[in-house]
Amino acid sequence: MPDVLVLVDHDGERVNKTTYELLAAARRLGDPAAVVVGPPGTAARLRESLARYGATSVHAAEFAQAADFLVTPAVDALELAVSETSPAAVLVPATTDGREVAARLAARLDAGLLIDAVDLDSSGVVTQIVFGGSYTVRSQVTHGTPVITVRPGAFEPEELPGGAAEWTLVPPAVDPTTSARITDRRTVLAGDRPGLTEAAVVVSGGRGVGGAHGFEVVEELADAFGGAVGASRAAVDAGYYPHQFQVGQTGKSVSPQLYVALGISGAIQHLAGMQTSKTIVAVNKDPEAPILDLADYGVVGDLFAVTPQLTQEVAARRAVG
């Protein structure tokens, strides 16, 4: 079977869940081949977990300054891997960096690019959410090697015990004169909750929470579920919650098992980032709120009356087991 290149999303020590999802998607087209970009030693630390989730080979593009450049090392590594393996496709996570990597790679390869895939079949036909979530379409690349970004949460990771991955070194070829260099970093406090794109449960608050203090009920419910906290653009723009937690077209796209929307009206910008969630629960005092049309379960009522009861019930049931 042909290789399917998968760009590994990692923090240097741990493979992010989105990569395991990509490996599961890649198996529909061929043999998953993981591409790891990072400082020396990174691929060795990640190799075992990548093999456990289905990677049949690992392409290691390692050099000391790998973390000092924006996306260019990943683009270079993927371009070289494509030239050496002639893969059936290249899969990249639909993150902020991933979208830029995919676009640059497709331009270099003169190849077709498909964005925000939520499904993929064995013939290479991709299901996409387009036009801000207004339509679902099926598309296929007809020119060059398909480059596809996959929405986090669209596929379930599949652990395959006993797997082994072959090792291939990809020589780095970053040109510092034509690459954007990172000159400063600022630490963002993430807390103990799971990341938005990796959480099985996401609880989001909107303008209806009334202010930053209103997000306490959102956080309490998220903690009861062991999930992540999200926010609508309206809430973020109003200063209720930090920008890195925004869910929507201009924020993060999520597809958790459960998405709970508290005080979110359901603007198309927000729906574009969460409508592929497996189960959607909405609490809103406006019976005409668009979010209720999308929700699997809707509660018309005051979120400050409803949410604490829900939090208490979830906590009680989890305590029982």
pLDDT, tens only, 20-33: 999 999 999 999 99
Question: Which two three-digit tokens encode residue 277?
Answer: 């969630």
Tell me if 192 is assigned to some domain: no
Mean pLDDT on 225-242: 96
- Percent of the chain clearing pLDDT 70 (strictly above): 95
Residue linked to tokens 């072959």: 166
CATH of the domain at 31: 3.40.50.620
Same domain, 205 and 174: no
Same domain, 173 and 34: yes
In sequence order, which residues have a C-beta less than 8 Å from that of residue 256 and are 6 or more positions away? 153, 199, 200, 201, 202, 227, 228, 277, 278
Tell me if 23 is assigned to some domain: yes
Tell me if 195 is assigned to some domain: no
Question: Which two three-digit tokens encode residue 144?
Answer: 């060059």
Same domain, 15 and 163: yes
Nearest to 63 by CA among 37, 81, 34: 37
Same domain, 106 and 233: no
pLDDT category of residue 180 using cuts at 50, 70 and 90: confident
CATH of the domain at 308: 3.40.50.1220
Tell me if 228 is assigned to some domain: yes
Tell me if 184 is assigned to some domain: no
pLDDT category of residue 117 using cuts at 50, 70 and 90: very high
pLDDT category of residue 189 using cuts at 50, 70 and 90: low
Same domain, 166 and 237: no
Same domain, 39 and 164: yes
Encode pLDDT of 126-163 as tens digits: 999 887 777 889 999 999 999 999 998 889 999 987 66
Phi and psi based region of residue 118 (left: phi greater than 0; alpha: psi -120 to 50; beta: remaining): alpha
> Average model confidence (pLDDT) for the chain?
91
- pLDDT attached to residue 214: 94
The parent domain of residue 45 ranges over 3-178
Same domain, 244 and 303: yes
Same domain, 170 and 300: no
Question: Could you give the residue ranges of the DSSP H alpha helices within 86-139?
Answer: 96-109
Mean pLDDT on 264-276: 91
Tell me if 45 is assigned to some domain: yes
Tell me if 230 is assigned to some domain: yes
Task: Look at the chain and report how many structural domains it folds into.
Answer: 2
CA distances from 29 to 1, 176, 186, 241, 256 (A): 8, 35, 39, 40, 24
- The last residue of a domain, from among 178, 210, 240: 178
Same domain, 44 and 140: yes
Tell me if 159 is assigned to some domain: yes
Same domain, 42 and 79: yes
Same domain, 16 and 134: yes
d(CA 157, CA 279): 18
Least confidently predicted of 54-68, 198-212, 288-302:
54-68
d(CA 102, CA 71): 10
Same domain, 150 and 217: no
